[in-house]
Amino acid sequence: MPENNVFFLHRDATISAAWLHDKHSVTMVFEIEKLIASAAQMTICETEPLIPAATFEHPHLMWALSSIEHVQWLYSYYNALSDRYRNVFHRKYRNHVTMQQFESLMRVFPRQPWQDPPLLVDSDCVQHDICESYRLYYIRCKIKVGSYKRVRMPYWVSNHMNESEHDVFQGLFDEA
């Protein structure tokens, strides 16, 4: 399965960004920026992506390329991640994709209806709803590599932790 570039935890990009743990507050802003820049480069120049890791075959890149609706969601996610980075770490993330650049890109992407992004989770995480699937995947596979010390833990993380897990992770998830 390809590496997951987008954690689609909520249909609202701002909420989805708010639910990432501390470590992803740093890494995801750069990942989404790479995804948007690669999609733009491939659409405008019809060349390989800027970042070698973001190959043309990556499902999230293909999703972004398929509709301006998807790129707009990613840009909202990117802005929310940038704002969150600034609020959590008290310094500004140096945005490489400006609103002016983004608005000029909007003309080159196809105007297709919204489709949910590809589901890039382990098969045992698949649920009836794509957001629920990504949340379960995030709990099972990503929580242990980060913490919620600087940001509020989402309700769905607390709800999925049983007593023993809560004891093990208590220090990781203390709210700031």
Please give the C-alpha separations between residue 125 and each of 47, 51, 141, 166, in angstroms, as whole numbers: 35, 29, 10, 20
What is the distance between the alpha carbons of residues 61 and 71, in angstroms, rounded to a whole number?
Answer: 10
Q: Is residue 55 part of a domain?
A: yes
Q: Is residue 105 part of a domain?
A: yes
Q: What is the pTM of this model?
A: 0.80
pLDDT tens track for 5-59: 789 999 999 999 999 998 887 788 888 888 887 887 777 765 555 555 446 678 9
Q: Is residue 150 part of a domain?
A: yes
* Residue-number span of the structural domain to which 161 is assigned: 13-169
The arithmetic mean of pLDDT across residues 87-113, rounded, is 70
Q: Is residue 176 part of a domain?
A: no
Q: Is residue 2 part of a domain?
A: no
Q: Is residue 3 part of a domain?
A: no
Share of the chain above pLDDT 90, in %: 32
Q: Is residue 6 part of a domain?
A: no
